[in-house]
Amino acid sequence: EAGVVQSPRYKIIEKKQPVAFWCNPISGHNTLYWYLQNLGQGPELLIRYENEEAVDDSQLPKDRFSAERLKGVDSTLKIQPAELGDSAVYLCASSLGTTGELFFGEGSRLTVL
């Protein structure tokens, strides 16, 4: 069974440039999460989807961050414009419902210069 797939694994951009991350969850997992992980820290939730509905986006900085999950499967997280402080690892995870364990992708490491 394929796991959660994320791309790109690494991205280096200059500040004020846009960037997008893509996530394909495990087949059949209706709940999808985007997390931010700073170096040496635990993941922090950015947004959670139940199917195609964003049910918790309270931690998403909506002035520059946006996300979508069309058709309730793949998801894209966008940052525009990127700032130096956005340098971090962006993790996607999925779960079967909201009570099960999370399955994480490998993450997308963003470096903003």
Partner 1 sequence: AQSVAQPEDQVNVAEGNPLTVKCTYSVSGNPYLFWYVQYPNRGLQFLLKYITGDNLVKGSYGFEAEFNKSQTSFHLKKPSALVSDSALYFCAVRPTSGTYKYIFGTGTRLKVLA
Return residues touching partner 1 (CB under 8 A).
4, 6, 40-45, 48, 56, 91, 93, 98-99, 101-107, 109
Least CB distance to partner 1 at residue 101 (A): 4
For every residue of 41-102, DSSP letters joined together read S--EEEEEEETTEEEE-TTS-TTTEEEE-GGGS-EEEEESS--GGG-EEEEEEEESTTTS--
Asked if residues 20 and 77 have their Cβ atoms less than 8 Å apart, the reply is: yes
Shortest Cβ 52–partner 1 spacing (Å): 18
Residue count of the chain:
113
Q: Which is nearer to partner 1, 74 or 106 (CB)?
A: 106
Nearer to partner 1 by C-beta: 40 or 71? 40
Residue 17 or 102 with smaller CB distance to partner 1: 102
CB of 81 to partner 1, least distance (A): 26
> Hey, is 40 helix, strand or coil?
coil
Nearer to partner 1, 43 or 75 (CB): 43
Residue 26 C-beta: closest distance to partner 1, Å = 12
Compute the C-alpha angle 61/95/26, nearest 5°.
Answer: 100
